């Protein structure tokens, strides 16, 4: 696509030069120039976005990815929102459903939707919201394609999306009460049985899912790490929504932390799937309680920072370091341990784990 469209070519050059500038400081000015050129070119091309939504969507997603690896903790989310609008406007009917249908008609469009879904689903975890576009629109039942981001883990990614949607639904229907002196507080939804039933269904799907066969063992371990991270996300939501049953989710969380670490440990350093291991590493690190587990997550993230120069990994590690440092600290609510969400909220960060 980049050979056919100069705007996308400018975007890819900007991404490459930006990453190069993280490896070599002497390229910093040149990278800024390329980003400026790409932004001007993209702004000029926007009026034509409905004619070629694939190119506009690709440009927006490159901007999103570039912002993430540069360590931006706000702008990448704006680019993701922009990408969602391009999908919606891809059809004359201006709806997400019709935009998805139009983009799914060719290989490039399907690849871009998988790319968008990867960023969108992981965003729903760190921003504690539902995905911008829910559903399994990027998964084709008849396709045996290995995704360029999550490899063999498309199904765990879809179940992460369902968990985030369930959590958002609970938030929307939660009872809200206002106290003159205490402000507004969110109360658990009375019908926790329905929530637990749906959560159990997601848990069952994750536990019974079979990773597709592959001779590429690092891809298999990455997929299993995403399964563990998906279960960690689910158990965290169960713990939040049903605090009286916290002991059970806590025990299951410990098991999944160990599982994620075990699978990541079996992935050789510098292997290609390592590029997208940030999410499962962060999720495991956020629930790690032993010094050995914390040290493993620290070393693997530090390796990604040093070898790949991804600054969003540096941001993620800084959040975990603060969490681990204050692991025995308590929040204002008695008995509730500090969580990485509290750190993100205090820093006003939108953390990119993609």
pLDDT of residue 26: 93
pLDDT of residue 329: 54
pLDDT of residue 180: 46
pLDDT of residue 51: 72
In contact, 190 and 175? CB cutoff 8 Å? yes
Cα(9)–Cα(5) distance, rounded to whole angstroms? 6
CB atoms within 10 A of CB 204: 10
pLDDT of residue 162: 97
pLDDT of residue 187: 47
Answering whether pTM is above 0.85, one says yes
HEC string for the chain:
CCCCCHHHHHHHHHHHHHHHHHHCHHHHHHHHHHHHHHHHHHHHHHHHCCCCHHHHHHHHHHHHHHHHHCCCCCHHHHHHHHHHHHHHCCCCCCCHHHHHHHHCCCHHHHHHHHHHHHHHHHHHHHCCCCCCCCCCCCCCCCCCCCECCCECCHHHHHHHHHHHHHHHHHHHHCEEEEECCCEEEEECCCCHHHHHHHHHHHHHHHHHCCCCCCCCHHHHHHHHHHHHHHHHHHHHHHHHHCHHHCHHHHHHHHHHHHHHHHHHHCCCCCCHHHHHCHHHHHHHHHHCCCHHHHHHHHHHHHHHHHHHCCHHHHHHHHHHHHHHHCCCCECCCCCCECCHHHHHHHHCCCCCCC
pLDDT of residue 190: 46
Task: Please report, in tens digits, the pLDDT of each residue of the chain (354 residues total).
Answer: 655 678 899 999 999 999 999 999 999 999 999 999 998 988 888 777 667 889 999 999 999 999 999 999 998 999 999 999 999 999 888 899 999 999 999 989 999 999 999 999 999 999 999 999 999 999 876 555 688 888 999 999 999 999 999 999 888 766 443 444 554 444 444 455 688 899 999 999 999 999 999 999 999 999 999 999 999 999 999 998 887 765 678 889 999 999 999 999 999 999 999 999 999 999 999 999 999 999 999 999 999 999 999 999 999 999 999 999 987 555 444 556 789 999 999 999 999 999
């Amino acid at each position: 696509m980049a050979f056919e469209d100069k705007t996308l070519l400018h975007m890819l050059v900007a991404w490459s030069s930006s990453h190069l500038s993280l490896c070599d400081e002497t390229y910093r000015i040149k990278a800024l120039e390329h980003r400026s050129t790409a932004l001007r070119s993209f702004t000029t091309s926007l009026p034509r976005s409905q004619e070629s939504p694939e190119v506009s969507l690709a440009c927006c997603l490159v901007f999103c990815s570039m912002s993430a690896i540069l360590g931006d903790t706000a702008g990448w989310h704006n680019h993701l929102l922009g990408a969602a609008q391009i999908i919606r406007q891809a059809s004359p009917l201006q709806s997400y459903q019709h935009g998805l249908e139009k983009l799914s008609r060719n290989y490039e469009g399907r690849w871009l939707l998988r790319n968008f879904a990867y960023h969108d689903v992981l965003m729903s975890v760190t921003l504690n919201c539902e995905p911008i576009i829910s559903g399994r629109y990027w998964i084709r039942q008849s396709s045996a394609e290995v995704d360029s981001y999550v490899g063999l883990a498309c199904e765990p990614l879809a179940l992460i999306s369902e968990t985030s949607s369930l959590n958002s639904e609970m938030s929307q229907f939660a009872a809200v009460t206002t106290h003159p002196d205490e402000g507004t507080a969110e109360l658990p939804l009375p019908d926790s049985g329905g929530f637990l039933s749906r959560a159990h269904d997601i848990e069952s799907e994750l536990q019974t899912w079979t990773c597709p066969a592959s001779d590429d063992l690092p891809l298999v371990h990455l997929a299993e790490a995403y399964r563990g991270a998906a279960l960690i996300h689910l158990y965290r939501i169960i713990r939040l929504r049903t605090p009286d049953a916290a002991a059970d989710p806590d025990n299951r969380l410990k098991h999944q932390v160990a599982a994620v670490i075990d699978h990541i440990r079996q992935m050789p350093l510098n292997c290609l799937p390592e590029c997208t291991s940030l999410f499962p590493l962060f999720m495991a690190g956020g629930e790690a309680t032993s010094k050995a587990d914390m040290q493993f997550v620290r070393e693997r993230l530090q390796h990604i920072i040093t070898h790949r120069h991804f600054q969003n990994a540096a941001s993620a590690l800084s959040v975990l370091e603060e969490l681990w440092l204050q692991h025995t600290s308590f929040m204002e609510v008695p008995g509730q341990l500090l969580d990485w969400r509290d750190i993100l909220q205090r820093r006003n960060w939108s953390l990119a784990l993609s």
